[in-house]
């Protein structure tokens, strides 16, 4: 399977995931520009890469008032699950600085703070089922 058009073969930070309806997608961030491409059927019925999101995140990050991003913010895609792109932010001058894990919904194009984190190549967001024992009984 070929990568999406205009994507360099050795692009750093490309993550593969799925949309909320289970379609294959890829996402990457370059200079605060988030790009998401989804594998969809064309009019001819052939699956092809289609652009889904091509959005500058600078204004959204400023609206969230993320305290650690003052001068030169960097955005890095960490994962894509169920149509949510999870992003890590940090200062370019200090890549190991503590900052925030953000979530971006590809359907609503809404950016949210998830939690403060320490930027690391070893972190990965995941979804965990709620233990049945903790459900309220009637």
Instruction: Give mean pLDDT, residues 96-114.
Output: 89
pLDDT in tens, 116-130: 887 666 666 777 777
Its pTM stands at: 0.83
Of the pLDDT bands very low, low, confident and very high (cuts 50, 70, 90), residue 92 is confident
3-state class (DSSP) for residue 137: coil
Per-position DSSP letters for 23-58, written without gaps between them:
-EEEEEEETTEEEEEEEEE-TTS-EEEEEEEEEE-H
Taking each continuous run of H as one helix and of E as one strand, the counts in the chain are 1, 8
Task: End-to-end CA distance of the chain: give it in Å, rounded.
Answer: 50
pLDDT at position 80 is 95
At residue 122, the pLDDT reads: 66
| Ordered DSSP codes for 54-86 | EEE-HHHHHHHT-TT-SSSEEEEEEEEETTEEE
pLDDT digits (tens, 9 = 90+) for 36-52: 999 998 888 888 899 89
């Amino acid at each position: 399977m070929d990568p999406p058009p205009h994507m360099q073969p050795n692009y750093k930070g490309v993550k593969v995931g799925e949309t909320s309806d289970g379609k294959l997608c890829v996402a990457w961030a370059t200079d605060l520009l988030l790009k998401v491409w989804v594998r969809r059927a064309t009019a001819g019925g052939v699956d092809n890469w289609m652009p889904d999101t091509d959005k500058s995140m600078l204004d959204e990050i400023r609206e969230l008032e993320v305290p650690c991003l003052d001068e030169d913010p960097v955005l890095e895609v960490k994962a894509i699950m169920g149509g949510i792109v999870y992003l890590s932010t940090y200062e370019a001058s200090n890549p190991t600085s503590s900052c925030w894990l953000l979530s971006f919904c590809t359907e609503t194009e809404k950016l949210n703070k998830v939690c403060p984190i320490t930027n690391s190549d070893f972190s990965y967001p995941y979804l965990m089922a709620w233990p049945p024992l903790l459900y309220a009984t009637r």
